[in-house]
Chain A
Amino acid sequence: MSFAPVYLDWNATTPLDEVVREAMLPWLGVGEQARFGNASSRHEYGRQARAAIDEARVRVASAVGAHATEVVFTSGGSEANNLFLKGAAGVFKPALLAISAIEHPCVREPARQLQRGGWALREIGVDAQGLVDEASWQAVLAERPRLVSVMMANNETGVVQDLARIAAQARTVGAWVHTDAVQAVGKLEVDFRTLGVHALSLSAHKIGGPLGAGALIVDKRVELTPLIAGGGQERGLRSGTENVAAIVGFGVACERARAAQAQEAQRLGALREELERGLLQCGASIFSAQAPRLPNTVFFAIGQIDGETLVAKLDRAGFACASGSACSSANPEPSHTLLAMGVERGLARAAVRISLGRDTTAEQVRAFLAALAGVTDNLRNLASVAA
């Protein structure tokens, strides 16, 4: 390919922010300021690494209104989610665990693993817009769950839950509340204290940081058993030599995402509005259009045009987007988020996700809409010929 496709899949991963990359390079041995110590070593090389990690910890914490001592660095969002669920389950006798019906697999699968280990598992249903269904939630609450995990913003629809309210209600029955905020940070204001959750998962590569770093923000009063045992790093909650380069990058990415958040939300919101107007003209139905959503995400379907086919055609036209979450993109099943919302399978199969980001421009959005119109016309013509 002679030119790079337009990237419209920012919820899958984001290109590394240039400033973040510059901060990381010394820790990859590049340049005059090259560094490489093991943060556990007591000599100068080790102390430099420790200082860099401490600095990153403060940056990550302040981006979400937490204290530096509440940050546990992990290899990413999946590990952070696994750490909370299995780590919290490790300190209790099996009881009731409640998760929303639209969680990412890295919450759903550990939950199922706990279920195999004797925990009762309830899924909290969502309504047709993808918001936690009040009746379902109240029914789960009445059973007094020990652990509750509800994602802050959905990776596919972009729907934002009223998490502060959910957390407050869960606390009244003594539950520990966790939220997967991987898609929320940088797109919304996320404040650990205001949300009132016990723990919150973050990922660096969704906010302009590198792959390979994430964190669990966890209230100091919450006791967890570690997922990975060993040298006792991260207050014993996560052993293993720290990935200094990625952690440094994560810190800078958090700081920058936080600083740009309000302005970016406005800019991307306006772009999405333009995008959605165009989509509607193409005959698209937009999922969760009536719910509060992330400003950068649109999940839509055009009639019964198969989502996979549409995405492949768009790729050939030079636009990188997705038919759902990247993790399940090898999986032919339609989006479980849409099925949980009661969307019928045919329509769910037609779903395409566009997610915008830092580098997305109005020109790209317009070019995308033009390409989409061409591709859908073409597909409709083919369909009419076949019929």
Chain B
Amino acid sequence: MKFPIYLDYSATTPVDPRVAEKMIPWLTEHFGNPASRSHAYGWAAEEAVETAREQVAALVNADPKEIIWTSGATESNNLAIKGAAHFYKGKGKHVITLKTEHKAVLDTVRELEREGFEATYLDVQENGLVDLEALKAAIRPDTILISVMFVNNEVGVIQPIAEIGELCREKGIVFHVDAAQATGKIGIDLAALKVDLMSFSAHKTYGPKGIGALYVRRKPRVRLEAQMHGGGHERGLRSGTLATHQIVGMGEAFRLAREEMGVENERIRRLRDKLLAGLTDIEATYVNGDLEQRVPHNLNISFAYVEGESLIMAIKEIAVSSGSACTSASLEPSYVLRALGRNDELAHSSIRFSIGRFTTEEEVDYTIDLLRRKIGKLRELSPLWEMYKDGVDLDTVQWAAH
């Protein structure tokens, strides 16, 4: 086993060796600028870019013409949300999203608010799923855009995208979906889903960092205002020289995902079930987020009566996170878990385990054993645990101010 054991696949995934193999030639003998129309170096690069576009489109059953390259899902989210809001601002100025969205969506919507748009940040239910009735109720006559992520990055729950799509189409509202955590984990059929804009990332699906895509629906056509101006690449929606090797890598990663996700996800589900059984066996642990409407790759568990920082320190043999990577520098408890109704203490003592292509059963066994031992030790030191074991209801204790 290689230590620390990597169980943070939701933060990023290693590049699959087969993906790297496809990328390398574009770092050596082929190096053209895909925009160079006057020589073979440019043509070869352009052809590779178009093949990759087909591969990405195929995973989500879209037309290649609907795929726009970006530098990653963060940029895709920014382009989709600001681009649509700016384009359709004449129709209205209200935007709806969820409190549990990724920062790349939340901060972008906040930026729109500073520009004069109005935003509703919807609560989710205790299981992390959006309440469709609440969403319906939040829609106003001037609502122009709804942004809901497909799979949550912290708790792995799958939002009812098909139902929200129907609702949006009926009301003529542009619907954006951040699918960074969904590709390769669940089937996505954009011919069936009434989604107008969808963000993708390569590095969450065994492709390279620095490349992503935005799906922009053609029928019915959705319009965007570009956010990056220049040479007019990507039909004017996103200027900047295309990074051929990265695009080729994303194409191959998505091709592999399409071919292998069926088998792979069964294997991952078995590992997750084992991890789930092994960890929930520990007393006073709580799984965060719905267990049914959820990708098997994610397990987010709160261990009560354990201090979060000490827990992270105690399990250095495994690489996990206590929230999303993007917010892991802050000591604030996860805003996603808070939105699920977890109190600060439980949110603080939560661990996100995310399993992936290279996780082995041996690693899962090791992790279960490690957690059992360490949680036991930490609780031995915890006065709260002692009170809990003595039958004190900690929620009713009146703490003295000091």
Contacts and interface: CB of A to CB of B under 8 A. Distances in A.
Interface in B12-36: 12-17, 19-20, 23-24, 27-29, 31-33, 35-36
Nearest to B244: A211
A315 B39 contact: yes
Contact of A79 (B14, B74, B228, B321): B228
B14 A29 contact: yes
B40 A241 contact: no
Interface stretch (B53-61, B163-171, B294-302, B324-332): B324-332
Chain B contact patch, size range: 35 or more
A212 B36 CA distance: 16
Interface string B84-108: 0000000000000000001111011
A227 B227 CA distance: 8
Contacts of A105: 229-232, 239
B12 A36 contact: yes
Contact of B231 (A7, A9, A30, A327): A327
Nearest to A82: B228
Contacts of A30: 17, 20, 24
B240 A322 contact: no
Interface string B201-229: 10100001111000000000000000111
B156 interface: no
Interface in B262-285: none
Contacts of B389: none
B71 interface: yes
Contacts of B107: 229-230, 232, 239
Contacts of B242: 211
Contact of A75 (B75, B77, B327): B75
B329 A40 contact: yes
A384 B20 CA distance: 53
A229 B17 CA distance: 31
Contacts of B327: 231
A233 B249 CA distance: 23
B229 A113 contact: yes
B41 A320 contact: yes
A109 interface: yes
Contacts of A21: 27-28
Contacts of A76: 240-241, 243
Nearest to A43: B319
Nearest to A230: B104
A75 B40 contact: no
Query: Residue among A106, A203, A229, A328 with the most chain B CB within 10 A?
Result: A229
B116 to A, nearest CB: 13
Nearest to B326: A231
Contacts of B240: 75-79, 106
A65 interface: no
A21 B31 CA distance: 12
A241 B74 contact: yes
B140 interface: no
B78 interface: yes
Contacts of B201: 241
Contact of A243 (B39, B71, B111, B232): B71
A368 B62 CA distance: 45
A24 interface: yes
Interface of A: 1, 4-5, 7, 9, 12-16, 21, 24-25, 28-30, 34, 36-38, 40-46, 75-79, 81-82, 104-107, 109-110, 112-113, 203, 205, 210-213, 227-233, 239-246, 308, 311-312, 315, 320-323, 325-330
Interface of B: 4, 6, 8, 11-17, 19-20, 23-24, 27-29, 31-33, 35-42, 71-75, 77-78, 102-105, 107-108, 110-111, 201, 203, 208-211, 227-233, 239-246, 249, 312, 316, 319-321, 324-329
